Amino acid sequence: MGPKQRRRPVFVFPAVAKRERTLLPESESAGVAIRTVGLTRRYRSGSGELTIFADMNFTVHCGERLALVGDSGTGKTTLLYLLGGLDHPTSGRIFYGQTEITALTGDALADFRNREIGFVWQNQSLLPEFTALENVMMPLLVRGEQPGTAAGQARARLADVGLADRETHRAGELSGGEQQRVALARALAGRPKVLFADEPTGNLDARTGARVVDLLEDLHRRMGLTSIYVTHNPEFAARADRVVRLAGGTLTDDTRGAHAGAAESGAGMPESGDTRTHV
Ligand SMILES: Nc1ncnc2c1ncn2[C@@H]1O[C@H](COP(=O)(O)OP(=O)(O)O)[C@@H](O)[C@H]1O
Ligand SMILES: [Mg+2]
């Protein structure tokens, strides 16, 4: 067996790019959580233009835990913003299953985000003057849930992250690790299908970060999520189903991911020097 290429393009799906429609047929969206087609983001910088990535095509499958790695400034946050519908691409399209979110605007987009997507950020994103419970209730109130229902669901999520006994604490009174756990509870309060986390442990010490990672993993499984998280921590990245690396405007599968480990375990592979042709 010849040496495997260490890096390969994540996904190429040129056929869709030519079609003018906002629904992918079921046959092309089965098992697909997110698909990008020709995704391009440029920023104006002074008199010129800065291309972060161009014509990026890739797929995230339902239920996948994907780690996004890459040097600072390569565009990881930009990509999460686009995938999460918080920013609009310069060109290209993003599909969630059959639905093109790049075709949604205004209330329809806000509603889609509220129902389908949860975010956890690196920096404090909670409202410090509000209690942990109020923070977690927020996305549910925004979507029009009754306060009683919202409080019940928020309590359940706070229990999920081990903070049932902190619900009346103001967010600003909680430790950094506790705040990230509340942020995770808030992101999952509305039972989204997709969770994005942008360096969620970036400001935490190793042990506290590991606790947040354990929770991300546990809740991913229990809530049937598709998760995409950015990290600079190799151990955290290696726990994902798939690791993709953003470098020079290109996204590639990174062989250091868990899948690579599984491939390298080599079950059924002949030993080197073994000349058998039938295995
Ligand atoms: N609003 C903006 N306007 C212009 N340039 C931006 C903007 N946001 C980000 N950038 C630039 O895009 C590049 C990628 O940024 P970012 O997505 O934050 O990278 P990462 O998250 O990988 O560190 C950086 O060079 C950054 O300076
Ligand atoms: Mg970033």
Q: What is the pLDDT of residues 83-113, one digit of tens each?
A: 999 999 999 999 999 899 999 999 999 999 9
Residue 43 token pair: 């920023």
* Residue 198 alpha carbon, nearest atom of ligand 1: 21
Residues within a 6 A CB radius of ligand 1: 43, 45, 50, 52, 70, 72-78
Query: What distances in angstroms separate CA 119 from CA 47, 122, 149, 169, 266, one per listed residue?
Result: 33, 10, 21, 22, 37
How does pLDDT run across 32-88, given as a tens digit for each residue? Answer: 999 999 999 999 988 899 999 999 999 999 999 999 999 999 999 999 999 999 999
198 Cα: distance to centroid of ligand 2 (angstroms): 7
pLDDT band at 1 (very low <50, low <70, confident <90, very high): very low
Query: Of the bound ligands, which one is closest to the alpha carbon of residue 68?
Result: 1
**CB distance 259 to 241 below 8 Å:** yes
Query: How many Å apart are CA 121 and CA 18, to the nearest integer?
Result: 35
**Number of the ligand closest to the Cα of 70:** 1
In ligand 1, the atom with minimum distance to the C-alpha of 246 is 22
- What pLDDT score does 30 carry? 79
Atom of ligand 1 nearest to the CA of 81: 17
- The predicted structure's pLDDT at residue 12: 41
Q: How far is the CA of 45 from the centre of ligand 1 (A)?
A: 11
Higher pLDDT, 277 or 148: 148
pLDDT at 128 over 80: yes
Contact criterion met (CB below 8 Å) for 100 and 37: no
The pTM assigned to this predicted structure is 0.84
Residue nearest to atom 25 of ligand 1 (CA): 73
Q: In terms of pLDDT, which residue wins out, 51 or 1?
A: 51
Residue 115 has pLDDT above 80, yes or no: yes
Structure tokens at 156: 């359940």
